[in-house]
Structure 1
């Protein structure tokens, strides 16, 4: 599979370039950026053989099988749709689109094409996420009463594009999309928002620097997500599930190739498990390549992305903030 990169994004080396070196049958074959010089520098640094002068030129390249979209949030839908129209498979960084309406448009465009369109929730492809989901689905904890997930990290540089409303920025879109997705994975069904509260930027009150949201879960349980890029909670990446028979606590569910902890308590018996695996991005790229080859390995397809973006829209509405444009 020959894949092209739209934009010389900072995430691309970790998310794609290094992973492609260890995933059989994958070659990062081309890159394009708004600044051709920047794309050329990226290509030299990372051994990418072809530099295109525009996103359109890369997408039209007949030698490419797939496109990786690590652009700012507000550009995801536009260029994913363009890649689909050109007959390319797409690995699109999270969040999939700016809002649910765009996610529906992408899903509908991909339907019936035979193309693989995958939202890059890399954590979902690691054995840790599989174990977490299995504990809940197999009933180890009994009936689920409470799910809490968080993704908080410090980003005090408010000029960063992740704080720009016109580019679909905000803590919920960047950090919080992980917490929302993990909550959905661990819930017995799709959650419903009951309340949300945002901490916003002074210079642009449309943009959240932190978000907390509460939910009801199918079966009568409750849930909460906490997300921030700048708040009193500087660093917290955690998932906790409480059931009628026990609890599950996971520290650093998002990047378990770094220090993480999985603790399960069932019927009063507590144990820790060490769940190993390659970096999450390697697992994700391997799943993408296998999906392109015809295997059913896409865990984050457009239908899932529509549900994800619908819940994010509902959180913004509950918090009294406008949907991302």
Structure 2
């Protein structure tokens, strides 16, 4: 295992220490600091940028040829960190606490160390790891937000107001679909200079906003989680495939939701997010589109088509088909069969 000791806090010095440990140089462009991983270590880069008001952003996109441990150890209160894992597998632990916190794809953690204890990040061998880390100097960040913080819910207020690091803090969750979209937007941006900096700052604050909203959602013991997570998007796609394969004999939608590991509420929220309609409406659309295809391209009877697409009632099938395509199934077949 290779170990990098990082004894500084401002992101410029963080990148400088990482470059020194890797035996290379870093570059600077209008306040953005970048170190490229040397070939003998691996590939990729680590970027850092500071914004006004105590907010900073570190972006790790690296693949190391062997396990690498980054030790952020300085005798000062460390920033409050929000880490998001876009790809790969990372572990974190506090400097004087060996209990590891695993961070895998689509997961995020919020960590604050106690006293002057630092943070240790462990990057696995030959695993492409992509991490976005928001770093908040709570003293600077709080200086213009004292009124709002006083009125914030106790759990968040205590974390932000703990400027001296009296207590440690750890939270683990699955980041939301909105956050995933922010990361994709940030990766695809092609702005330069002034626009780029303002854009990255605004997106960093968006990340913070939606992470705090998600944390509030996760810690609300009085209701089911409402926010759709990135990992749950895959479950929705799995549900769609089940619907297509089992259209003629579908179980109840609640059963499908259970099969893909979603609550009925999240299941419906996912379909509305991706398709703009409920899961029932989506199934109905699948059935009617398949029925239309069978009418044109097969010699199946209307009864056979009705059964194949999963309608139990012929009259209901005809009613829905006419409402959607403005014609009965038999007339639609006559008009389009020869075309």
Q: Indicate whether the TM-score tops 0.5.
A: no
Q: Which has the higher contact order (CA 8 A, sep 6+)?
A: 1
Q: Structure 1-normalised TM-score?
A: 0.26
Structure of greater Rg: 2
| Richer in helix (by share) | 2
